[in-house]
A and B are shown apart, each in its own frame.
Chain A
Amino acid sequence: MRHRLQALATCAAFLLLPWLPALAQTYPDHPIQMIVPFPPGGVADLAGRPVAAAMEKTLKQPIVVQNRAGAGGAVGMAAAASAKPDGYTILVALSSISIIPEADKLFDRKPAYTLDQLAPIALLSADPTVLVVKSDAPWKSAKDFVEDAKKRPDTIAFASSGVYGTLHMAMAMFAAAADIKLRHVPFTGGGPALTALLGNNVQALASGPGPVAAQIKAGALRPLATWGNKRLEAFPDVPTFIELGYKDVEFYIWAGMFAPKGTPEPAMKALRDATRAAVKDPDFVETMKKLESPVTYMDAPEFQKFWDADAARLAKALVKIGRVQ
């Protein structure tokens, strides 16, 4: 009898053997796809690739970065939002992720995706934008700029990365708080917008710190203020708008990691743990420092709060801008 039971147990064990890994929940057991909804070389790509490399060390599976650019990121974000929530698709997106659905709403479009289709994993970086003018411009401070703009409304022009793009939203928030009217000249990205400022085609620009740091150090541009809640390490002399009394003017170009909503909890936990380890990886920290975009890490619960507040601020600003005629 005992022999029989033993034999049965052995048989059962052999039968169950192929299923054991599934029972043990070994996530991940095949490569993970990371969607970057912008072209290679952009902020999201530059942050996404090194973090993917660092996460591979923990997850022991390759993370394949796929650039799905288009429509200001909407194409790739929509692809990630509607991907199968199995933990094998993740997304690295920027602040614009909160703007696109709002803009769709503004134009009565069927939204490409909605924010509740995505679950946050972690915040990777958050760089406050910097208000820059040419170094031969008459304004020495943000106060000069505001006073002059009040004297001659709708004459000072600023460049942006595109209508409702991050650089537009930042400037619109500031203009609304300071009660000034500026001319908006949209370009097709941060690079062309910076070129337009240096070529004297516009007079001001809100830019991420990375692209303008070298121009400021070389004396071509002058920073007037930043949109952060504390001063930037790279420019300790430049005040924040909050310090200057505009307490709602806070804006960051941030990069965060998301998964489709409904991704199983064990996979989410593995991804969060891997990201937590990755942001401490010296290679990753070094790369982000080189990009003038220091690591600002937040785990999912904290990031969710940050994201909600940011999305609410942006939605408010967007409604205020309304449809551009």
Chain B
Amino acid sequence: MIDTLNSLALGFSVALQPAVLFYAVLGCVVGTLVGVLPGLGPLAGISLLLPLTYGLTPTTAIVLLAGIYYGAMYGGSTTSILMRIPGEAASVITCVDGHAMTLKGRAGAALAIAALGSFVAGTLSVVALMLLAPPLASFALRFGPPEYVALLLLGFILLSYMSSGPMVNTLAMAALGLILGTVGIDLLSGFHRFTYGVTDLADGLGIVPVAVGLFGLSEILLTAGGDTPPSVYKPKLRELVPSREELKASISPCLRGSVLGFLIGIIPGSAHIISSFVSYGVEKRISKHPERFGHGAVEGVAGPESANNAAASGAFVPMLALGLPSGPIPAVLLAALMIHGVAPGPLLMEQHPDLVWGFIASMYIGNLVLLILNLPLVGIFVNVLRIPYSYLYPTIVVFCVLGVYAVNSSVVDVWIMLATGAVGYGLRKFEFDMAPAVLGMILSPIFEMSLGQSLAMSGGSYGIFLDRPIALTMLIMVLALLGLSLRDALKRQRGGWRTGAGLDA
């Protein structure tokens, strides 16, 4: 403990140097912008800015890039809440209740709750990162393909909580998402599926273009297709501040989201994207009034937004403790270190304590900066809604196209966004929800890949799922949850909560 405090003191002495502090703040500001712009997510943001860090010192480079990463997690919720356009993949689910709150005139409150939740989660998970990184990292390493399969099975159960419409519609959309997720190279055989000779489709449909299309463009089309233009919203000052009840209702979801998000974040791979979905599903499952979800439940904003920020910090655990490029974002950060001659490895913390602890300390500062930055911005962002729709929406479409194109300089991605926008418009006319489709599309390729990898590891034997304790535990949880759902289904005639919530047709 004393060691940790000493190290932290060293860290702050580094992080408070004017240059490091400057780049931490700069990273947070750029990150917020990257998050706010629809389509541009943290990975695209730090990838685009990586070359600019070549002239910096290793510490300032990593502090800047990490600031962009968790800054984007703060900013990602803004367009989700105001316009139902996901700022990045981890904020997709925030669109549902966040935008519903906007329609109820609570946009300011939703933005403030998202910022506060992100701050609490960000700070708590830096504490966890600082105290628990080494033991957690070895746990995270044990998370191989079989564990992923079990985790994703849990994720599939979540699909049914992603919608407030009839169950048939939810499952249809989930199936659509799963099918969309099969486009691209089959990882195990190298076979191109559903690419129709278009090389750009070999990596599959990107989550970002599809999510922006299904949520954002469809929303714009729906508004444009309405009989009467929507009335322009005039926010009042007292509506910017969350009410006492809203704050109270947000505390537990925020704490649960922080823990869940952090634990999911440390897992190597791309699991962090599902952290916000998991949090949403959990909040809805344990809520006494699940029927409020989808209609502006503040828990549906507080939980997921906390979870995605905690996951952002969690992702640094294997990176700092083991020097492992455990996911796409840590890989870019480690590349930035390698350029500066810092070889990432298990000795990173020992050999470069000033760098590692300076980085950790800068995250405390960064989270504070983001809170100070984001709370006043709430007032400004909400005022965006004052702009008449005939000016606002075309501008947003331009930003969507730019953001989606910038990620890979790919025109194909723009077409994907436009096509899914049209599909989303049609489906929403028939009152299908889009969230299960997006979650399905995220889950299906990872699930298929992990299942294939697990079976490749075991030479085709399914016993591998029973031999590994973490996987087995999670599979038992899956069965238990399925059992609970069955019980609910049986109770349906007697008025179980699902019927009350309108989950069953």
Q: State the A residues within 8 Å of B (CB).
A: 39-42, 45-46, 49, 65-72, 74-75, 78, 103, 107, 109-110, 112, 154-155, 157, 162-164, 183-189, 191-192, 194-196, 198-202, 210-211, 213-215, 217-218, 220, 287, 290-292, 323-325
Closest to A325 in B: B189
Closest to A164 in B: B190
Inter-chain contact A157/B457, CB cutoff 8 Å: yes
- Report the minimal beta-carbon distance from A242 to chain B, rounded to whole angstroms: 27
Does B427 belong to the interface (CB within 8 Å)?
no
Given the interface contacts A183-B457, A185-B457, A214-B347, does A49 sit within 8 Å of B54 by beta carbon? yes
Q: A71-B203, A198-B141, A199-B141 are in contact. List 12 more A-B contacts (CB 8 A).
A: A41-B47, A41-B332, A71-B202, A75-B199, A109-B192, A154-B459, A157-B456, A163-B187, A163-B189, A191-B331, A202-B457, A325-B189
Inter-chain contact B192/A107, CB cutoff 8 Å: yes
- Report the minimal beta-carbon distance from A190 to chain B, rounded to whole angstroms: 8
| Inter-chain contacts of B127 with A (CB < 8 A) | none
Q: State the B residues within 8 Å of A (CB).
A: 47-48, 50-51, 54, 141-145, 185, 187-192, 197, 199-200, 202-203, 268-269, 318, 322-326, 328, 331-332, 334-336, 338-341, 343-348, 408-410, 449, 453, 456-457, 459
From B50, B328, B345, B459, A183 is in contact (CB under 8 Å) with B459
Inter-chain contact A103/B47, CB cutoff 8 Å: no
From A39, A70, A199, B200 is in contact (CB under 8 Å) with A70
| Inter-chain contacts of B324 with A (CB < 8 A) | 191, 194-195, 198
- For the complex, give the distance between the alpha carbons of A157 and B345 in Å: 23
- For the complex, give the distance between the alpha carbons of A294 and B323 in Å: 22
- Report the minimal beta-carbon distance from B194 to chain A, rounded to whole angstroms: 13
Inter-chain contact B345/A214, CB cutoff 8 Å: yes
- For the complex, give the distance between the alpha carbons of A278 and B334 in Å: 25
Inter-chain contact A291/B339, CB cutoff 8 Å: yes
Inter-chain contact A41/B345, CB cutoff 8 Å: no
- For the complex, give the distance between the alpha carbons of A137 and B216 in Å: 51
| Inter-chain contacts of A40 with B (CB < 8 A) | 47-48, 50-51, 332, 335
Could you write out 27 A-B pairs with CB less than 8 Å apart?
Answer: A41-B50, A46-B335, A70-B199, A72-B185, A72-B202, A75-B199, A103-B190, A109-B192, A163-B189, A183-B457, A185-B453, A186-B187, A186-B453, A191-B325, A191-B326, A192-B269, A210-B338, A211-B325, A213-B345, A214-B343, A214-B345, A215-B323, A215-B345, A217-B343, A220-B346, A291-B338, A324-B188
Inter-chain contact B188/A155, CB cutoff 8 Å: no
Chain A-chain B contacts (Cβ-Cβ < 8 Å), number? 154
| Inter-chain contacts of A45 with B (CB < 8 A) | 335
- Report the minimal beta-carbon distance from A297 to chain B, rounded to whole angstroms: 20
- For the complex, give the distance between the alpha carbons of A287 and B51 in Å: 13
- Report the minimal beta-carbon distance from A36 to chain B, rounded to whole angstroms: 11
| Inter-chain contacts of A292 with B (CB < 8 A) | 343
Counting chain A CB atoms within 10 Å of each CB, which of B48, B328, B340 scores highest? B328
- For the complex, give the distance between the alpha carbons of A79 and B48 in Å: 20
Given the interface contacts A46-B339, A183-B456, A210-B338, does A195 sit within 8 Å of B346 by beta carbon? no
- For the complex, give the distance between the alpha carbons of A183 and B464 in Å: 15
- For the complex, give the distance between the alpha carbons of A69 and B188 in Å: 20
Inter-chain contact A201/B325, CB cutoff 8 Å: no
- For the complex, give the distance between the alpha carbons of A39 and B329 in Å: 11
Inter-chain contact A215/B346, CB cutoff 8 Å: yes
- For the complex, give the distance between the alpha carbons of A65 and B48 in Å: 11
| Inter-chain contacts of B48 with A (CB < 8 A) | 40
Closest to A71 in B: B202
- For the complex, give the distance between the alpha carbons of A188 and B328 in Å: 10
Counting chain A CB atoms within 10 Å of each CB, which of B340, B341, B457 scores highest? B457
From A191, A192, A201, A213, B457 is in contact (CB under 8 Å) with A201
- Report the minimal beta-carbon distance from A134 to chain B, rounded to whole angstroms: 11
From A42, A154, A162, A191, B187 is in contact (CB under 8 Å) with A162
Inter-chain contact B54/A70, CB cutoff 8 Å: no
- Report the minimal beta-carbon distance from A220 to chain B, rounded to whole angstroms: 5
Given the interface contacts A68-B408, A192-B269, A199-B144, does A287 sit within 8 Å of B192 by beta carbon? no
Inter-chain contact B144/A201, CB cutoff 8 Å: yes
- For the complex, give the distance between the alpha carbons of A187 and B500 in Å: 44
Given the interface contacts A68-B409, A70-B410, A220-B345, does A186 sit within 8 Å of B456 by beta carbon? yes
Inter-chain contact B457/A195, CB cutoff 8 Å: no
Closest to B141 in A: A199
- Report the minimal beta-carbon distance from A104 to chain B, rounded to whole angstroms: 9
- For the complex, give the distance between the alpha carbons of A323 and B50 in Å: 38
| Inter-chain contacts of B346 with A (CB < 8 A) | 214-215, 218, 220
From B192, B409, B457, A66 is in contact (CB under 8 Å) with B409
Inter-chain contact B409/A67, CB cutoff 8 Å: yes
From A42, A75, A215, B335 is in contact (CB under 8 Å) with A42
| Inter-chain contacts of B453 with A (CB < 8 A) | 185-187
Inter-chain contact A290/B47, CB cutoff 8 Å: no
- For the complex, give the distance between the alpha carbons of A163 and B141 in Å: 23
- For the complex, give the distance between the alpha carbons of A324 and B185 in Å: 13
- For the complex, give the distance between the alpha carbons of A199 and B50 in Å: 28
Inter-chain contact B188/A186, CB cutoff 8 Å: yes
Nearest first, the 8 closest Cβ-Cβ pairs linking A and B are: A214-B345, A41-B335, A71-B202, A191-B325, A201-B144, A199-B141, A214-B343, A290-B341
Closest to B51 in A: A49
From A112, A163, A194, B188 is in contact (CB under 8 Å) with A163
| Inter-chain contacts of A215 with B (CB < 8 A) | 323, 345-346
Inter-chain contact B145/A287, CB cutoff 8 Å: no
Inter-chain contact B268/A192, CB cutoff 8 Å: yes
| Inter-chain contacts of B197 with A (CB < 8 A) | 109-110
| Inter-chain contacts of B457 with A (CB < 8 A) | 157, 183, 185, 201-202
- Report the minimal beta-carbon distance from A325 to chain B, rounded to whole angstroms: 7
- For the complex, give the distance between the alpha carbons of A186 and B450 in Å: 10
- For the complex, give the distance between the alpha carbons of A202 and B141 in Å: 12
| Inter-chain contacts of A195 with B (CB < 8 A) | 141, 268, 318, 324-326
| Inter-chain contacts of B338 with A (CB < 8 A) | 46, 210, 290-291
Inter-chain contact B345/A78, CB cutoff 8 Å: no
Inter-chain contact A218/B345, CB cutoff 8 Å: yes
- Report the minimal beta-carbon distance from B268 to chain A, rounded to whole angstroms: 5
- For the complex, give the distance between the alpha carbons of A291 and B200 in Å: 30
Closest to B190 in A: A163
- Report the minimal beta-carbon distance from A144 to chain B, rounded to whole angstroms: 22
- For the complex, give the distance between the alpha carbons of A95 and B323 in Å: 26
- Report the minimal beta-carbon distance from B147 to chain A, rounded to whole angstroms: 9
